Amino acid sequence: MSENFYDKHYYSKLNPGEVVERRARIKSPEQRFLESVFSPKAGLKVLDLGCGPGIILGMLEETGANLWGIDVSLSAVEIAKKRVSKPDQVIAEDAAHLPFKDNEFDHILAWGVIEHFPSIPSTLKEICRCVKPGGSAVIMVPNAYYYKFIWDTLRKGTGPRKLQEIEALYSFKEWKDLIEASGLKVVRTARHNKFDKPKWAWLRGMLIPYYFSNHFVFICEK
């Protein structure tokens, strides 16, 4: 993964003021969804892997957890540092080789990030290595069989759209098998569909089959 790609295309034009503004625009249904699958207790050590400009770290500040963040983009990290109370714990490193001890974290959050790593199995093994026995990892990943991809294929002959330099797309079972091969155990799953039109969220839940969802969240234990 290239830090230059993310600096140039994602974070070069952001500043802390814009991040605060974007955070204010995050819709409450999306924040409630995150809290439904990941709500750490105060004092526990939490790593946000691929933290970007720190929007989720900022959301987790109110939990009182001992927050750490890591991202390949120096620009993103500089912004994220301004979102947290312990900026020294947000670092710019290649998260494919985590610079942490074995069994260091109570929880690791990988929210829409591992699909962008060149070696997903290696990244998952690093997550497993750094989680304490009895700890958890919450991993959100995209679905290759998202219903809009299927609809676009039927209508226009196009396949899944990959919007970043590296972006792996797998089915629910393929993701589950990859995660469990790392040593983590999937104990619960949830589906994540877009919250851009909250009033239609209930209808999406009724009409879209589970395995055609936009993303899957795997709640795992070690």
pLDDT at 22: 47
Helix axis angle, 172-181 relative to 120-130, nearest 10°? 50
| b/e sequence 178-200, b meaning 16+ C-beta within 10 Å | bbeebebebeeebbbbebeeeee
Beta-bridge mates of residue 139 = 110, 218
Average the pLDDT over 204-213 and give the result: 82
pLDDT at 152: 84
Residues 40, 105: contact at Cβ < 8 Å?
A: no
Average the pLDDT over 175-185 and give the result: 98
* pLDDT of 166 strictly over 50: yes
* DSSP 3-state percent helix, strand, coil across the chain (nearest 5): 45, 25, 35
Q: What is the mean pLDDT of the chain?
A: 85
pLDDT at 205: 64
C-alpha triplet 218, 221, 222: angle, nearest 5°: 135
For the chain, give the percent of residues with pLDDT over 90.
62
pLDDT at 23: 45
User: What are the structural domain ranges in the chain?
Assistant: 3-221
Task: State pTM to two decimals.
Answer: 0.83
pLDDT band at 94 (very low <50, low <70, confident <90, very high): confident
**5-14, 52-61, 143-152: least confident range:** 5-14
d(CA 190, CA 138): 11
pLDDT at 201: 61
C-alpha triplet 61, 136, 147: angle, nearest 5°: 90
* pLDDT of 56 strictly over 50: yes
pLDDT in tens, 128-137: 999 999 999 9
Please tell me which residue, 149 or 125, carries the higher pLDDT value. Answer: 125
* pLDDT of 30 strictly over 90: no
Please tell me which residue, 204 or 10, carries the higher pLDDT value. Answer: 204
d(CA 105, CA 216): 23
* pLDDT of 218 strictly over 70: yes
Of 162, 134, 167, the closest CA to residue 50 belongs to 167
- Reported in sequence order, the residue ranges of 50-104 that DSSP labels E, i.e. its strands, are 66-71, 90-92
* pLDDT of 2 strictly over 60: no
Q: Which CATH class is domain 3-221?
A: alpha beta
Average the pLDDT over 40-69 and give the result: 95
pLDDT at 27: 46
Please tell me which residue, 216 or 26, carries the higher pLDDT value. Answer: 216
Radius of gyration for the alpha carbons in the chain, expressed in angstroms and rounded:
17
Specify the residue for token string 């929880």: 107
DSSP-H helix ranges across 93-216: 120-130, 147-156, 172-181, 201-207
